[in-house]
């Protein structure tokens, strides 16, 4: 038998939304087995391949997190490696401001959990109050963190981010709405899978 020609690739609908949004904002996304996520300052955003990521990692939340770094650190950091972070240094408290912005943007559509980070910073993210600009008790630099998060929130309402992010977040919420109607009958195709769907959170 002749081998069937393959002329299309199946894509997760949410991946289409966020990969397109990355392109609209000048980023090209590529997979790199050597890293989790990194930018090179030329518009290249590298993410780890799906088979190296945790079960609750998603292209959508990874790209949103990178946008939040860019917004928090300033529009000019597009041209800096990793948005100006020194990845081998101790914690830069701007990371916490970025997480607050991520929560605030996701909250507009009730997506805080679906678009949560999965890195070591998840512990801080989970402590962010319902008001994403309220301080977290006993966390360092909270005055600076909250102040910068508020500045980042104002930046996110302007160019170049506001329109592409609003469209992507709205599409994500609508996809969740469609999927949620099927969750009562959902069963994983993985044997003895102990994890429920993130969509049902």
Q: How many CB atoms lie within 10 A of CB 72?
A: 26
Of 78-82, 167-171, 194-198, the poorest mean pLDDT is in: 194-198
Segment 15-56, tens digit of pLDDT: 999 999 999 999 999 999 998 899 999 999 999 998 888 888
3-state secondary structure of 184: helix
57 touches 198 (CB < 8 A):
no
* pTM attached to this predicted model: 0.93
Could you tell me the pLDDT band of residue 72, with boundaries at 50, 70 and 90?
very high
| H or E segment and range at residue 13 | helix 13-24
Which tokens go with 114? 């679906």
What ranges do the domains of the chain cover? 13-178
If you write DSSP's letter for every residue of 40-95 in order, what string do you get?
-SSSEEEE--GGGS-TT--HHHHHHHHHHHHHHH-GGGGGSGGGG--TTSSPPTHH
163-188 pLDDT tens trace: 999 999 999 999 999 999 999 999 99
């Amino acid at each position: 038998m002749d081998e069937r020609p393959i002329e299309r690739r199946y894509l997760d609908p949410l991946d289409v939304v966020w990969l397109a949004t990355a392109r609209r904002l000048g980023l090209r996304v590529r997979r790199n087995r050597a890293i989790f996520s990194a930018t090179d300052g030329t518009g290249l955003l590298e993410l780890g391949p799906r088979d190296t990521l945790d079960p609750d990692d998603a292209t959508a939340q990874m790209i949103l997190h990178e946008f939040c770094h860019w917004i928090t650190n300033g529009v000019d950091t597009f041209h800096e490696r990793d948005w100006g972070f020194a990845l081998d240094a101790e914690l830069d408290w701007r990371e916490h401001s970025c997480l607050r912005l991520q929560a605030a943007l996701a909250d507009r559509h009730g997506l805080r959990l679906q678009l949560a980070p999965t890195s070591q910073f998840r512990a801080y993210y989970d402590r962010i109050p319902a008001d994403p600009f309220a301080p977290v008790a006993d966390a360092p630099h909270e005055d600076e963190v909250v102040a910068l998060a508020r500045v980042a929130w104002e930046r996110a309402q302007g160019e170049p981010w506001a329109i592409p992010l609003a469209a992507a977040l709205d599409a994500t919420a609508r996809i969740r709405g469609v999927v949620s109607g099927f969750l009562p009958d959902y069963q994983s195709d993985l044997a003895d899978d102990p994890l429920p769907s993130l969509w049902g959170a």
